[in-house]
Structure 1
Amino acid sequence: MDEMLEAIDNIEKRIGFNLSNVQKILLTTDGSVTRILEVLTKKPVVIETKVKTIIKADEDLAKALKIESGEDVNFRVVHLKNPDDRALVFARSWTPMKGLSNSIKRDLTSVDIPIGKILIKHKIETRREIMSIDAINADDEMVKAFDVKLGDLMLSRYYNIIHEARILIRINEVFPTSTTNFLHLM
């Protein structure tokens, strides 16, 4: 059985019900989640930035990004949402700053643009490599984003955006398992 199919099967056993097709697509796509959400909701997806800062990579982050410990990394926490609507996806991203052009750095650090649209704007050819999918417990940030209870099960995925054989961006996306929270997408 394919790794992704096995992971979905494990998630469904853990949460006690079958995921919707939309949830399966969002967990496993190697394309743009922003584009998928725009098609599903028939509305533009906007970014609401919650955190945007430059951090120094600790050993674990450096290992995950395949960079040196202490290098500058742009860390963002955002909600992907429709205008004047609730969050559809809660996302964290880590982007090593070394080697990026000034215009890409500017877009990543100062503008509320979805990462997929930044890549298109700068004509950067990339591929997405899904590292893991799982069900996790909602933390305080997710409670605020989705109006769920602390500890509620959420769907999570980690993936890397690869450009010229190096990790350009590492992303963690989280969205509800609850069909009531995702009902408007089904």
Structure 2
Amino acid sequence: MHRYYGRGPSAPGEPPFRCDGFARAGEVVDSTGERIALSQLPAFLRALLVTDGTVTKILEAYFWEPVVVDTLEQRFEDAQEPVPWLGVERGDPCLIRDAQLRGTDSGRRFAEAFSLIRTQLIPPDFRRRLIDREIGIGVLIRDSGLESYREVLDVGLDRTADGETAVFRTYRITIDHRPVILITEYFPVALYR
């Protein structure tokens, strides 16, 4: 949850890709200042950064194999600091989930995802299915028929758990006009070249 502390509405600048999927001089930057021009990323990887659809379905269509969400860890944790992007205050309970999106035929890991969820703000059946790890968050939202809005808040460079260079995007899911889920997805650049 610490990756979201100190991040929020007071951050300078317009969120990336809010209105456009094209940023001629756009770059992604890591914490050390390393920069990669968006134009240098593989086209499909750029598409993943801007999409507001269900990534699992897009990956299935592109790689032409079923993709499953493997939940690696899931736990409840109380926030030690506020998370303004979600309206979380110190001490608020949140569900934390680490997952990977994996091709069932190839076994390739297409993405890693870290989620922060305000479970008290989602409908009981949705909450139960989420906690029971029935299916991925995007598929669960679609299958439940909940009206939602996704907004990309941040993009950049980082490393996967295996140390690979990855492009990430952080987006917020709003349900019933309340921000309830933050997801950061990491896409290993080498896999998409």
Question: Could you tell me the TM-score, scaled by structure 1's length?
Answer: 0.81
Structure-2 residue corresponding to 1:57: 79
The partner residue of 2:88 within 67, 84, 88 is 67
Deviation of 1:76 (Å): 0.4
SS at match of 1:65: coil
Among residues 28, 31, 52, which one is paired with 1:11 in the alignment? Answer: 28
Residues 7/133 of structure 1: CA separation in 2 closer, same or farther (3 Å cut):
farther
- Note the residue ranges of structure 2 that are not aligned, 5 or more in a row: 1-14
Alignment of structure 1 residues 43-122 onto 2, 5 Å: 43-61=65-83, 63-84=84-105, 85-122=107-144
CA contact (8 A) 2:78 2:92 kept: yes
* Structure 1 stretches of 4+ moved >3 Å: 2-8
1:182 counterpart = 2:174 = no
Task: Figure out how many residues of one structure are paired with residues of the other and give that number.
Answer: 169
**TM-score, length basis structure 2:** 0.78
Provide the residue aligned with 1:135 in structure 2.
157
Find the residue that maps to 1:133 and give its secondary structure. strand
Per the alignment, do residues 73 and 45 of structure 1 end up closer, same or farther by CA in structure 2, a change over 3 Å counting?
same
Q: How far off its partner does 1:7 sit? A: 8.6
SS at the partner of 1:94? strand
Shift of 1:129: 0.5
- Give me the whole-angstrom Cα distance separating, in 1, the residues matched to 2:87 and 2:122: 15
Matching residue's letter, 2:96 = F
Distance 1:97 1:8, change over 3 A: farther
Residue 162 (structure 1) aligned with residue 174 (structure 2)? yes
* Structure 1: segments with no counterpart, 5+ residues: 144-149
- Please list the CA deviations of residues 14-62 of structure 1 after superposition, one character each: whole Å capped at 9, or x if unmatched: 237711110000111111111111111222210111111111122233x
Contact 1:74 1:95 in 2 (8 A): yes
